[in-house]
Structure 1
Amino acid sequence: MTRRIMLNGFKSGTIGHTAIGLWTHPDNRVREYRRLDYWTDIARTLERGKFDALFIADTQGIIDVYQGSTDVTLREAIGIPIIDPMLLVSAMAGATEHLGFAITASTTYEKPFDLARKFATLDLVTGGRVGWNVVTSSSRSEAENFSAVMVPHDERYRIADEFMDVAYQLWEGSWEDDAVVHDRASRVFIDPSKVHRIEHHGTYFDVPGEFIVEPTPQRTPTLYQAGSSRAGVEFAAKHAEGVFVSFPRMDMVAATVARLRDAAEVAGRPRDALKVFPLSTVVTGATDEEAQAKYDRWHRQYASPEGNLARFSALVHVDMASLDPDMPLEYVENDGIQGSLSVFTRADPTRRWTPREIGDFLSVSSMGALFVGSPTTIADQFEQWVDEAGVDGFNISDTVSGVSFPEFVDLVVPELQRRGLVWNNYEGATFREHLYGVGHARTMPDHPATRYRHA
């Protein structure tokens, strides 16, 4: 295998993120999320481990599906309290030199001009180290918080598609590359002939004017996406450069990787245009036995099966508390995250999951891959996933904050570097160059953003 394994850290600006309940672990530092040095420490740790990026998940609503209540959500701090990740990036970028930052932001209730300006600002001041995880908002509470009504699943993606078109025009088409002259003698800072109105008048958005941020190193931030429904895969095939997937087994991930690459080809892009990252929980130690004992202790003493079931209920829009806990779960069409429900219904032909089993399974590993073992074992498994599932890297969760990332960096990364699977030194200056190589700071020729560039 000659491909480099790319590494993303996975966080959210909250307490309970993936492994609900592990905030009770005495070594978990997640309560420090309120402090800026907590975030800069994380960024420095990941950069020390030569991670490509820190991916920060986000939501703007409260989990309220389980039992039709927020009680479990509040007791277990499931995605609440939560702070805006975009406001953290400048400090973390200032504490590092190379690490990229993929920020989650929704196209459902945001406005294209405003969000485009925020991402352009960050891309400008970080030297091109910003990415956008493009999501659509599926929860009732998010809609209510924006004085809106819930948008049906497929329409969310139609809105998102037009949103991206507006953003591309602002980032790529409004200003020509040499619009900024900065000529003191002639008193011309911007050449007026090289700044253009975009005149977008669409189904969902009217944005006629010029953009107000000068060209940035990447222009369009590096784009990520995580949808696995039919509409989500089509959206990713057209727009995404990195894709996050969440499945517990390698064969399930392999099938999704093939589906994504097939869709990219249909969309007129190369199969390798999409870089795929499975959600991964890594529990490591000096030996396999030490790592397994650590996992067992986390699972037995600190995890909250009910809390994880409450989070799952919100993702799939099905109240697990209303079902028989020992009856197999069936797939139902709804406006939730269809891929999450499919994981435990359609996607696994080997078994039929009950709500009780799902709650227990999610307790440490969430819906992603679980890797438990010594650095040698973890590296062996990573190699296998890259070779057999075709993934490009791993989206590694901060399961026990202050423990998971430092242990991975100190124990596993040196073994991966010894095998030549993780770089020893960063190459390229921008986030996109991490994905596509030095010299590829701008979107690739096959990407839809590229067509808005001026010749």
Structure 2
Amino acid sequence: MFTVGHLAKLLDKGGFVGLFLADTFGPYDTYKGSAEPSVRIGAQWPLADPIIPVSAMAAVTKNLGFATTTSTSYEQAYVVAKRFSTLDHLTKGRFGWNIVTSWKESASKAVGLPLVEHDTHYSNADEYLWVLYKLWEGSWSDTALVEDAKKGIYCDYSQIRAIHHHGKFHVDAPFLTDPFPPTYSRAVPGRHISAIREGAIGAGRDPYSVKIFAMITPIIGKDEEDAKRKYEEALKYVLIEGGLAQFSATTGIDVSQFDLDHELTEEDVASHLQRTHSSLYNLRYQGDDVPKLTARNLGTVTAIGGNGAMPVGTAAQFADVFQEWVDIADVDGFNIGYVVTPGSFKDAVEYLVPELRSRGLLPEAIPEDEPAPTFREQIYGLGQKGLRSDHPYDTYEDTVAKEDAAKATTAEL
């Protein structure tokens, strides 16, 4: 049986920087106003908790990072901070977080919470992150962990402060988990990416400190005929309703109201946009795989490739595509999807990785005798174990101390 451990080892061997595991709490129920199509077809249903297998995969890999989806809307910040710090230890710094605010009404119903407005989601998330960084960066000083067996001292009590935060979220406690590493020194895609880079500059940050990844689901063959054969084989198993259920849920547009071969226009769907501001941009896409923007074509492409591009070709052709996206759209990397597991990943490791390395687009494998880098180091460079100096929360320990002094007359735990 091919397990998550086998997948992790395959990607680690192939030089992948990380494995991204998505998550959601509710079924897709926008299409036809029901969850029945997505449940019947198996469109992200059923779905297990992605957090659980991370430690098992980390145990059989050395360099591969792991990122999982967790919403800022459904769990207390302290609980999430503790869980993530634990995973940071178990993975030796190879854990990352895909931050989402959640938009599905079905997910809110599943956890018994009301669905809040779009802007409120983001203001809540901003405070949520502030609380987490208080716990991660402000509770333990860099020298709080002593580990002196002769003196009988594990932690220096005087160097661990309680966090006092009162707002939408409330915390009055020290952080229970020591940080990893224990001590460190604090010494249209292109158009959208340009706006993000400019926003970073406006916030006083290096524009390339914000890493941007494009979603792509490659169908790779040893030659063009092999790639086309794999694509045609995938088409045999396409269930259009599954793709439409996912597309409807992610855009908020119930496309079941349109004939499958009706060419959709922005006017058709403008009054139905509910959840994501990128919906109209999705509907402007046109290519070989979607010659006309019909529900049938959208459902077919989404059923195979999800929400990203889905090129078909050889490793050399894909390397050309990747190079073009890097040069023109200014992306930093790619979130590679799959059509089949483990076949899609085996093809990427066997065909694509060597081609990318030969062009200098992917680093060479890390030698076995070298220490494994953390996930952050693989993104920002060796030695960058802590937050970058231009990270919005890097200066924050002093801010925490000032807030605590104002809100509490004692630092008693």
Paired amino acid for 1:422: L
2:300 alignment partner in structure 1: 360
- Cα deviation per residue 1:80-128 (whole Å; 9 max; x = unaligned)? 1111111110000001011000111000111100000000000012110
8 Å contact 1:284–1:374 — kept in the other structure? yes
State how 1:420-435 maps to structure 2 within 5 Å: 420-426=360-366, 429-435=373-379
**Are the equivalent residues in 1 in contact too, given 2:70–2:99 (CA < 8 A)?**
yes
Give the stretch that moved more between structures: 189-198 or 370-379: 370-379
Unpaired runs of 5+ residues, structure 1, are 1-31, 221-251
Choose 58-67 or 211-220, whichever is displaced more: 211-220
Distance 2:256 2:218 in 1: 29
Aligned partner of 2:125 among 137, 146, 160: 160
Say which SS state the counterpart of residue 116 (structure 1) adopts.
helix
> Is 1:264–2:204 an aligned residue pair?
no
Cα separation, partners in 2 of 1:197 and 1:335, compared to 1, 3 Å: farther
CA distance in 1 between counterparts of 2:393 and 2:381 reads 19
Q: 1:195 to 1:47 in 2, by over 3 A?
A: same
Over alpha carbons, which structure has the higher Rg?
2
2:269 maps to what in 1?
A: 330
1:191-270 matched pairs, under 5 angstroms: 191-202=156-167, 204-217=168-181, 252-270=188-206
After superposition, the Cα gap between the structure-2 partners of 1:269 and 1:351, relative to the gap in structure 1 and judged at 3 Å, is farther
Q: Which amino acid aligns with 2:33?
A: G
Cα 1:258–1:103 shift into 2, 3 Å: same
In the TM superposition, residue 71 of structure 1 has moved relative to its aligned partner by 1.7
Q: 2:269 aligns to what SS in structure 1?
A: coil
Number of residues paired by the alignment?
386
TM-score by length of 1: 0.80
1:268-287 aligned within 5 A: 268-287=204-223
**Secondary structure of 1:377's match?**
helix
The structure 2 residue matched to 1:318, chosen from 253, 259, 265, is 253
Verify the 8 A CA contact 1:417 1:424 in the aligned structure 2. yes
Q: 1:448 aligns with which of 381, 392, 397?
A: 392
Match of 2:408 in 1: none
Find the partner of 2:153 among 188, 191, 201: 188
Q: Secondary structure at the match of 2:68?
A: strand
User: CA separation in 2, counterparts of 1:198 and 1:332?
Assistant: 45
C-alpha separation in 2, matches of 1:155 and 1:451: 26
Q: Which moved more, 1:54-63 or 1:322-331?
A: 322-331
Tell me which residue corresponds to 1:309.
244
Closer/same/farther in 2, CA of residues 297 and 91 from structure 1, 3 Å limit = same
Equivalent residue of 1:312, what SS? Answer: helix
C-alpha displacement at 1:186, in angstroms? 2.4
Q: Of 332, 344, 352, which residue of structure 1 is paired with 2:282? A: 344
- Contact kept, 8 Å, 1:218 with 1:430, in 2: the verdict is no
- Aligned-partner Cα distance in 2 for 1:83–1:270: 37
Q: d(CA) in 2 for partners of 1:89 and 1:219?
A: 24
Residue among 12, 16, 22 paired with 1:51: 16
Specify the alignment match of 1:21 in structure 2.
none
Distance 1:88 1:169 in 2: 28
Distance 1:374 1:347, change over 3 A: closer
What SS does the aligned partner of 2:163 have? coil
2:225 to 276, 282, 289: 289
Match of 2:39 in 1: 74
Counterpart check, 1:148 vs 2:86: no
Give 1:218 deviation, angstroms: 8.7
* More displaced 10-residue stretch of structure 1: 265-274 or 132-141: 265-274
How far off its partner does 1:332 sit?
Answer: 3.9
Deviation at 1:367, TM superposition (A): 2.3
User: Deviations for 1:369-395, whole angstroms, at most 9, x for unmatched residues?
Assistant: 222211111112211111111111111
Distance 1:345 1:424 in 2: 38
Residues 5-16 of structure 1 mapped to structure 2, 5 A cutoff: none
Higher alpha-carbon deviation: 437-446 or 361-370: 361-370
Amino acid in the other structure paired with 1:452: Y
1:131 deviation in Å? 0.1
* 2:340 corresponds to which of 384, 400, 410: 400
Counterpart residue type for residue 430 of structure 1: T
User: Cα deviation per residue 1:327-380 (whole Å; 9 max; x = unaligned)?
Assistant: 5243347542332x2233367799983433322332322221222211111112
Tell me if structure 2 keeps the 8 A contact 1:56–1:85: yes
Q: 1:75 Cα deviation (Å)?
A: 1.5
Task: Report SS of the residue matched to 1:449.
Answer: coil
1:26-37, aligned counterparts within 5 Å?
A: none
Matched, 1:65 2:1: no
Q: Is the 8 A contact 1:277 1:391 kept in 2?
A: yes
**How far has the Cα of 1:452 moved from its partner?**
2.3
AA partner of residue 395 (structure 2): R
Aligned residues of 1:93 and 1:126 also touching (Cα < 8 A): yes
1:377 alignment partner AA: Q
